[in-house]
């Protein structure tokens, strides 16, 4: 059991370090802060897991400087978790005030400095002569627990307020794993503090919970890049009033309308199936806006509908022409400026109420009836 647990924790430490390096090496500038925060959270987890690994393998005496080495980390876990979720789920950036979240950790570390600066022999003597945890360790755990609960509440509010999506759901699961693990670890510590024996120490239980967090983070990274942030649609700019710019004067409007009509009826530019608003405007020495305004005001339609009117009329003429009787409808339509069969049928039926085939058959039947009803001179 001890060997299996030791191996599990070793693998978790390796996975955590690997993920932290990958996050720190990511080049996405807009996600750099979130990646660094998550990397810090993972490395803090690795430190706690490593401390528990030393205890499981009874190596504290071999590494006396590990004594209370992770004690302040609990004050950093909550802020890192909260700031990571805030950075990952929103566009809010870190600011100078956010460093205040690390103040409890820095104060606790400063308070522990006299102990940390002791020699290895002094720390070893402290561990050997204190078989029972001192009271101030219990108080520090209580304070860390209260601080962590505050950050967990704030983290859940962030998740609930975030837009739904795979990342938000995945981070919610990671947060639940972290919270459950922390609760189990604190409960086990309380039992130990009451001098009740447990199969596993509170350190080991906490390390197992953090290992689950590391593995769950790796699993989420496989399913969805941790740097992914759902892109919310940009707010649409306020719609400008149609043709809000200066309108054409009446003389200019009449002149341009004559030029447009001549362009259609004489030059028959509508037969160009690729004709665009910009191209037609250039032919008329107008701006695209002016041309669109002119067509809309004079005819009540947009450019495409305007062109299709001429194309349908040209196709009707071609379908009625005896010289074109052997030509296919599609061939005639292409020559009139239609560039697809669906556009042809839709525009033709909208204007005539018939499909081109029905129109051609109707014209042919009318012609046949007229021929049969004619009396030949005798």
**Structural domains counted in the chain:** 2
Does 259 share its domain with 198? no
Identify the domain boundary among 175, 205, 223: 223
Question: Each residue's pLDDT tens digit in the chain (378 positions)?
Answer: 678 888 888 888 898 898 889 888 877 666 778 788 888 888 888 888 888 888 888 888 888 888 888 888 888 888 888 888 788 777 677 888 888 998 988 998 898 898 889 998 988 888 777 655 666 666 777 787 788 788 878 877 877 766 555 666 677 777 777 677 667 766 766 665 666 666 676 677 777 777 777 777 777 665 554 444 444 444 444 444 444 455 677 888 888 889 899 999 999 999 988 888 999 988 888 888 888 888 988 888 898 999 999 999 999 999 898 888 888 888 898 889 988 888 888 899 999 899 888 888 887 676 555 544 433 333
Per the confidence metrics, is the pTM higher than 0.75?
no
As a whole number of Å, the CA-based R_g of the chain is: 39
Tell me whether residue 231 is in a domain: no
Determine, yes or no, domain membership for 342: yes
User: What pLDDT is attached to residue 135?
Assistant: 62
On whether both 93 and 217 belong to a single domain, the answer is: yes
**Residues 164 and 127 placed together within one structural domain of the fold:** yes
- 95 within a domain of the structure (yes/no): yes
| 94 and 217 part of one domain | yes
- Whole-number pLDDT of residue 164: 53
**287 domain residue, yes or no:** yes
**Does residue 238 belong to any structural domain of this protein?**
no
Q: 214 and 259 in one domain?
A: no
pLDDT computed for residue 74 by the predictor = 80
Quote the Cα angle for 97-98-100, to 5°: 75
Residues 176 and 312 occupy one common structural domain: no
Q: Is residue 240 part of a domain?
A: no
Does 245 reside within a domain?
A: no
Residues 202 and 306 in one domain: no
- 10-44 pLDDT, tens digit per residue, is 888 898 898 889 888 877 666 778 788 888 888 88
pLDDT on residue 203: 72
Question: In the listed set 205, 223, 241, which residue is the last one of a domain according to the structure?
Answer: 223
Parent domain of 71 = 2-223
Domain holding 313: CATH number?
A: 1.10.10.60
Q: Is residue 24 part of a domain?
A: yes
What is the predicted pLDDT for the residue at 191? Answer: 67
Answer yes or no: do 211 and 324 share one domain.
Answer: no
The verdict on 135 and 270 lying in the same domain is: no
- Same domain assignment for residues 181 and 218: yes
């Amino acid at each position: 059991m001890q060997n299996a647990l030791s191996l599990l924790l070793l693998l978790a430490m390796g996975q955590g370090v690997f993920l932290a390096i990958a996050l720190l090496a990511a080049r996405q500038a807009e996600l750099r802060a979130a990646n660094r925060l998550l990397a810090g959270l993972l490395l803090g987890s690795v430190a706690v897991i490593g401390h528990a690994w030393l205890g499981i393998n009874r190596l504290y005496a071999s590494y006396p400087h590990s004594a209370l080495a992770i004690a302040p980390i609990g004050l950093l876990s909550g802020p890192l978790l909260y700031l990571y979720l805030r950075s990952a789920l929103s566009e809010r950036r870190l600011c100078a005030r956010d460093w205040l979240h690390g103040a409890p950790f820095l104060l606790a570390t400063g308070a522990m400095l006299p102990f940390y600066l002791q020699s290895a022999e002094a720390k070893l003597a402290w561990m050997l002569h204190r078989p029972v945890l001192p009271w101030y360790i219990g108080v520090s755990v209580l304070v860390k627990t209260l601080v962590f609960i505050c950050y967990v509440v704030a983290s859940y509010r962030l998740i609930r307020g975030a837009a739904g999506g795979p990342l938000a759901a995945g981070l919610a699961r990671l947060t639940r794993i972290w919270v459950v693990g922390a609760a189990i670890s604190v409960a086990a510590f309380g039992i130990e503090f009451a001098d009740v024996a447990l199969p596993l120490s509170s350190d080991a239980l906490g390390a197992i919970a953090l290992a689950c967090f590391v593995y769950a983070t790796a699993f989420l990274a496989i399913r969805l890049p941790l740097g992914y942030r759902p892109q919310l649609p940009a707010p649409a700019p306020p719609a400008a009033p149609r043709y809000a710019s200066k309108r054409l004067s009446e003389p200019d409007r009449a002149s341009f309308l004559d030029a447009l009509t001549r362009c259609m009826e004489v030059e028959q530019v509508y037969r160009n199936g690729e004709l665009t608003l910009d191209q037609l405007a250039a032919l008329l020495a107008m701006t695209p806006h002016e041309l669109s305004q002119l067509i809309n005001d004079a005819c009540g339609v947009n450019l495409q509908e305007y062109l299709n009117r001429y194309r349908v009329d040209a196709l009707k003429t071609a379908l009625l022409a005896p010289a074109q009787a052997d030509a296919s409808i599609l061939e005639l339509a292409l020559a009139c400026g239609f560039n697809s069969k669906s556009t042809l049928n839709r525009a033709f039926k909208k204007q005539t109420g018939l499909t081109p085939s029905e129109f051609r058959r109707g014209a042919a039947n009318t012609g046949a009836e007229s021929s049969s009803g004619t009396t030949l001179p005798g």
